[in-house]
Amino acid sequence: MSTDPLVIFTPSGKRGRFPVGTPVLTAARQLGVDLDSVCGGRGICSKCQITPSYGDFPKHGVTVAQGALSDWNAVEQRYDDKRGLKAGRRLGCQATVQGDVVIDVPPESQVHRQVVRKAASARAIEMDPATRLFYIEVEEPDMHEPTGDLERVARALRDQWDMQDVTAAFPVVAQLQKILRKGDWKITVALHKDGAGAPHITAAWPGLHEGGLYGLAIDLGSTTIAAHLTNLETGEVKASSGIMNPQIRFGEDLMSRVSYSMMNPGGDVEMTRAVRESLDALAQEIAAEAGIDTSLILETVFVCNPVMHHLLLGIDPVELGQAPFALATSDALSLTAADLGLSALPASAQIYILPCIAGHVGADAAAVALSEEPGKSDDLALIVDVGTNAEILLGDRSRVLACSSPTGPAFEGAQISSGQRAAPGAIEAIRIDPVTKDPRFKVIGCDKWSDEDGFWDETAQTGITGICGSGIIEAVAEMRIAGLVDAKGLIGSAEQTGTERSIPEGRTHAYLIHDATADGGPRITVTQGDIRAIQLAKSALYAGARLLMDERGVDKVDRVVLAGAFGAHISPLHAMVLGMIPDVPLDKVTSAGNAAGTGARIALCNVTSRREIERVVREITKVETAIEPRFQEHFVNANAIPHATDPFPELAKLTSLPQVSFNTGGSGGDGDGRRRRRRG
């Protein structure tokens, strides 16, 4: 045995001695080297491609001679003729060991290949999807030993792939006989295996299926539904698409949808039907965009807030609208497309819904936790997913806390007088000269600032149409920096601020950013009402964060992560001037992009991560903002810009905010107005 050739695999470094004639795939399996194969070594799937290296390898202590692997054989030649093998590549199931050899497994031949996420975060997703393809050769039926075709398929999976106690989805059973005969008893099955459950056949194709296998990661938001179509073999995102949530017509925000269900018998059923129909449309659209058939989409992962979660599942969300905000079910759910009545997907397509953290903190927050991993952070991280509802996580290795806070839609440009959704023509960034008090700005669809040459030509098409979420945050913060707004949020008059852009509006004032009325366009201003709306939103966000910090017993955090599609566009400086987030060094504020969507994609591509987030969610400390008396106190104190009581020393290093006050005795009325609205 000791004279058997030595086989060394890279990059794993795994090594062992094998008799002359051992196929490379066999050696890899015995050593536990991650080398893919769908056909089980029959030389037809080409997933097991490897690259032998020749010459001296002092590091490994071997010299690899030219004849270290068997000669190129007929199967490899046929494959090369038909599809083309890259230079130097061999099929691991065909090439056999003839002498000491160093074999490299290229990334695309690894089952558990890593896929680098597009987002800034360095963490890669290791491919280990719940559903995988297996090619099998099935025994033909025999009258003397009668067994069902399904039972022989299960036996083939046991004998050829060591898969025990395989079951099959009911629609597959009905089609199996035709598929087996069409494939001449050679078929490929999609096998779903998630946790302790038995492997489950969810699709089958005649012969070797080369059409691929896909999954959808869906971030089902109150406003938009975003989906990523992912190749489950490679991890590649084939297409991304988003549509508006059609439930908007029943209510803009979550609570108005819950109210709709309370006030209208059958309203929940209507909303469930609406969202399911649009999910079907989205699945069809995204599959068409990627040029694949929806029958190949066999896994779907959903992340969503609790109200969307219940409405997706067909559960009346009425309990989520009143204390104690009881979820019908909080654990992760494994379902089928048929269960959800999604007709665009195969009935047997598997659905995984991440667990909810609490009645107000949903599977979307769990997905952020999966993506950003606060529980693995060495320093104390505050993660804020900014949307109509803000989900807030605070944690490090010792403990993770979570809450949600009702920020309302102001951060998304809604309920803002000149507000609009992020679309071409919307002001997304703004700077106000502290001396002249004049603004310059950028609009979506143009890379130039408004004071740069060519800006007006380039924006002539779209016009300047309004202010989006990130624009309004910058506008309010810049107004505060420029001394146009005081710490209490009052806009000064033209006399107080020294600019004619401060224009009267009833008993209050507004700041004029751009007047296009001469050209038939809008007049874009920031009104006192807009400032109040932003103050309400940012106070809610900050109060939620402070509540978690209280619970944790700290008065500062080490870093802040802004998540959410919108979070990616928020300027950290302006967010801090506004007092949206606690004071931290500016370089400690990072954006995680659409972390919930990333979390969905991780759960889609890696089945182990599902157990991980289920465990993490159980261990998270849940804080309910709605019943904490301190929340109201934090909320009131956070109303000031940046804050009435908390110091912002890091912010002070960067900019000193003017000590102005425009209170002329009328602010008490504003305060009352705010409180009335909060109660409403």
User: Per rule CB under 8 A, is residue 60 in the interface with a second copy?
Assistant: no
Could you identify the residue written with the tokens 């089952």? 111
| Helical packing angle, 595-605 and 608-619, nearest 10° | 130
User: Per rule CB under 8 A, is residue 159 in the interface with a second copy?
Assistant: no
Q: How far is the CB of 406 from a second copy (least distance, A)?
A: 15
Residue 622 near residue 402, CB atoms below 8 Å: yes
Q: Where are the beta strands (DSSP E) in 93-236?
A: 101-104, 114-116, 124-126, 131-137, 167-168, 186-192, 200-206, 214-220, 224-231
204: helix, strand or coil: strand
Q: How far from 487 is each of 218, 338, 434, CA to CA, in Å? A: 41, 55, 16
User: Per rule CB under 8 A, is residue 325 in the interface with a second copy?
Assistant: yes
Residue 358 DSSP label: B
Q: How far is the CB of 329 from a second copy (least distance, A)?
A: 4
In the range 178-197, which residues lie near a second copy by CB under 8 A?
178
Residue 367: closest CA among 193, 620, 588, 112: 620
Complex with a second copy: residue 169 or 427, whichever CB lies closer: 169
Q: How far is the CB of 673 from a second copy (least distance, A)?
A: 29
* Contact residue for a second copy among 24, 327, 410, 562 (CB under 8 A): 327
* Contact residue for a second copy among 36, 194, 219, 316 (CB under 8 A): 316
Per the structure block, which two tokens stand in for 206?
Answer: 């005649």
Stretch that binds a second copy, among 91-99, 237-245, 256-264, 309-317 (CB under 8 A): 309-317
User: Per rule CB under 8 A, is residue 573 in the interface with a second copy?
Assistant: no
Complex with a second copy: residue 39 or 333, whichever CB lies closer: 333
Q: How far is the CB of 98 from a second copy (least distance, A)?
A: 44
Q: How far is the CB of 225 from a second copy (least distance, A)?
A: 21
Q: How far is the CB of 185 from a second copy (least distance, A)?
A: 11
Complex with a second copy: residue 147 or 436, whichever CB lies closer: 147
Residue 573: closest CA among 467, 413, 430: 430
Q: How far is the CB of 79 from a second copy (least distance, A)?
A: 33
Sequence-distant (≥ 6) Cβ neighbours of residue 545 within 8 angstroms: 382, 384, 392, 394, 557, 581, 582
- For the chain, the straight-line distance linking the first and the last C-alpha, in angstroms and rounded, comes to 82
* Contact residue for a second copy among 74, 87, 143, 435 (CB under 8 A): 143
User: Per rule CB under 8 A, is residue 626 in the interface with a second copy?
Assistant: yes
Q: How far is the CB of 312 from a second copy (least distance, A)?
A: 11
Pairing of strands 101-104, 114-116: unpaired
Q: Dihedral angle at the C-alpha atoms of 394, 396, 398, 401, nearest 10 degrees? A: 10
User: Per rule CB under 8 A, is residue 619 in the interface with a second copy?
Assistant: no
Stretch that binds a second copy, among 102-110, 174-182, 448-456, 664-672 (CB under 8 A): 174-182
325: helix, strand or coil: coil
Stretch that binds a second copy, among 39-47, 246-254, 329-337, 380-388 (CB under 8 A): 329-337
User: Per rule CB under 8 A, is residue 554 in the interface with a second copy?
Assistant: no
Complex with a second copy: residue 148 or 211, whichever CB lies closer: 148
Per the structure block, which two tokens stand in for 406?
Answer: 């009702």
Residues lying near a second copy in the complex (CB under 8 A) are found at: 140-151, 168, 170, 173-174, 176-178, 313-316, 318-319, 323-331, 335, 339, 356-359, 622, 624, 626-627
